Amino acid sequence: MDLTGNWSFPTAVRFGAGRIAELADAVTAAGISRPLLVTDPKLATLPMVTRAVDLLGRAGLPAEVFSGIRPNPVEQNIVAGVAALRAGGHDGVVAFGGGSALDAGKLIAFMTAQTRSIFDFEDVGDWWTRASADGIVPIVAVPTTAGTGSEVGRAGVVTDEATRTKKIIFHPRMMAKVAICDPELTIGMPPIITAGTGMDAFAHCLEAYCAPVYHPLADGIAVEGMRLIKDNLARAVRDGGDLAARAHMMAAALMGATAFQKGLGAIHALSHPVGALYDTHHGLTNAVFMPYVLVFNRKAVEDRIRRLAAWLGLRASFRAFLDLVLELRAETGVPHTLAGLGVGDDQIDRIVAMAPRDPTAGGNPVALDCRAARTIFRRALEGRL
């Protein structure tokens, strides 16, 4: 392994129950005076968004709400958001919600300064350098789920409807100036969404830990993130009002996204095309693929997984960790197969062609080619480990 790397952990995070009360101060600290609050259509109708807008208004920070985004955002959602930002004379974005809202908010802030197609800035090579940095407006991120960790990320995911492909758009200026992580905002999240977002965070930590890149800082964060999820996800699913479990899960989510600057892998490379083609929940899709990818990668990661199992208080073996994954999925209601998400084999050729080209595929510890993608997909469809 090449013992070199570029490491960055710059996000300012205000963490803890009740910290949403500091929203106006965070917006001011980010240099925003007229924010556009970007959220999803369901959240836009809830009291938490009304309260956020009220907090901003009472501080002399008039905000408008843009909620025209899909669960898996598409380019037109971003175009419409940019139009709303410009029409309202907004000078910054409050990205408020789950991963889709956070990604959309960041992408709207980014695309406000661009004249080229959003897909010209895909996370491929140095494509991000094509972007104009001047005019990218500042972002304050407020997650309401504990999963994607997009609040501390420098990228956003958007679906290209023409090719039905999920694309990762990257730029350093997409990093939020401030993230407010208030676990009280996750209370009331349905159990299956709690499970899916929590397993998304677990996938981020696991794939970052297994990526064949030298980044011991990310490894340490990923391990602690997995411990927090192991101890708290099932609690949060069983009792949505367990604030301590919710807080630990929110911490684990941002830890996963902090760690995955090291890399992701085949879980995400397969999940992205499935989500684009079937509109499945991203975290649940990751959770379904997780054990099948883990077994596929076994020859390359077994020693690391043994150490991980020991650190997590398990028997120091690959099987003990695999059993933890299977038990955690079963305990939180995650389907064992893709069929449980309504996914069949009608798009298998398309998926196995798309997965190796996904930017996350390069971080897998075993090369992911079309044959490997087909094998994993088939096993996930049939439930064969």
- CATH code for the domain in which residue 152 is found: 3.40.50.1970
At residue 11, the pLDDT reads 87
pTM, two decimal places: 0.93
At residue 9, the pLDDT reads 77
Cα distance between residue 251 and residue 201, in whole Å: 10
355 with 373: CB under 8 angstroms?
A: yes
42 lies in the same domain as 173: yes
165 lies in the same domain as 230: no
Longest dimension (CA), the chain: 59
149 lies in the same domain as 202: no
Domain count, the chain: 2
User: Which one, of 317, 327, 328, 335, lies nearest residue 382 by Cα?
Assistant: 335
Enter the tokens of residue 137. 């407006």
Residue 148 in domain? yes
174 lies in the same domain as 212: no
Residue 102, CB-side half-sphere exposure with 13 Å CA sphere: 27
Residue reference for tokens 């090449």? 2
3-state secondary structure of 384: coil
At residue 10, the pLDDT reads 79
At residue 2, the pLDDT reads 78
For residue 30, give every residue at least 6 positions away whose Cβ sits within 8 Å of its Cβ, in sequence order, or none. Answer: 92, 138, 139, 140, 177, 178
245 lies in the same domain as 355: yes
CA-atom Rg of the chain in angstroms? 20
Residue 372 in domain? yes
At residue 3, the pLDDT reads 72
Q: pLDDT averaged over consecutive 10-residue blocks of the chain (385 residues)?
A: 73 94 98 98 96 98 97 95 98 96 98 96 93 96 95 94 92 95 94 96 98 96 98 96 96 95 96 95 97 98 98 98 98 97 96 95 97 98 96
3-state secondary structure of 81: helix
Q: Identify the sign of the CA torsion 53, 10, 359, 286.
A: negative
Residue 2 in domain? no
Please give the C-alpha separations between residue 150 and each of 52, 68, 72, 307, 372, in angstroms, as whole numbers.
Answer: 19, 19, 14, 28, 29
195 lies in the same domain as 111: no
299 lies in the same domain as 355: yes
Cα distance between residue 291 and residue 305, in whole Å: 13
Domain termination residue (choose one: 166, 185, 204): 185
Cα distance between residue 274 and residue 297, in whole Å: 20
User: What is the domain range of residue 211?
Assistant: 189-382
